[in-house]
Structure 1
């Protein structure tokens, strides 16, 4: 993986069944993405300079994640386009087994919300 992010499933992150509610997997994957971008000095969001809105996301849920579970998000880049980045993520349960896998695509936009070609500096920072 390009980046690892660790966190704990909170009680409020679960649904009535006691399992992590599905949008929270995307929240944790996004937290890993933002942590990685900040660690590389890449802008996450600035009203004057734009950001990286999500344009596509999908996931497969394989195993439950329960309140109190220490989980690990593994993040990698699968594609860098002209103005976009597609991320692959996998969330491991406390036993190290894949619980969720998915992809997210973000587009670099300027302050007006229009796609902005990634600079060479941004490409280099992404690895």
Structure 2
């Protein structure tokens, strides 16, 4: 599991002052990139050097409680499923200080060749990193 902490910003809220629903996905993807950075890597470099793309083919989210500007959250990232050409990321969002789950998301990425020739096996270096998130549950 990888843990990422951050603050909810005013720009991420809607007119009622609550986190806008799509921002939850942005926060989750931010946590995914932060995981790579914590390993001394940058996701965009891995994509550029490896000649791969990681499009999202499925995403779902649940919202259990509202978040407002200034709230601190902890995003807990795990790999739920690691396939041959795709992987599923599971995110749990917890409001700091309360240990209360306020949201969760699941995002499925598929690895495709940059030349557009379709899905390809997950590269070994990416597989290794993702395995770390799966094994440390």
The verdict on a shared fold, with TM-score over 0.5 as the criterion, is: yes
Shift of 1:92: 0.8
Deviation, 1:17, is 1.4
Tell me the TM-score normalised to structure 2 length: 0.83
Unaligned stretches of 5+ in structure 1?
none
1:77 aligns with 2:76: no
RMSD: 1.8
* 1:32 is aligned to 2:15: no
SS of equivalent to 2:113: coil
User: 1:123: how far off?
Assistant: 1.6
Q: Distance in 1 between matches of 2:86 and 2:37?
A: 17
- For 2:115, the equivalent position in structure 1 comes to 112
- Consecutive unaligned residues in structure 2, runs of 5 or more: 133-137
Task: Provide the rounded CA distance (Å) in 2 between the counterparts of 1:36 and 1:83.
Answer: 20
Q: How many residue pairs get matched? A: 126
Question: What is the TM-score normalised by the length of structure 1?
Answer: 0.89
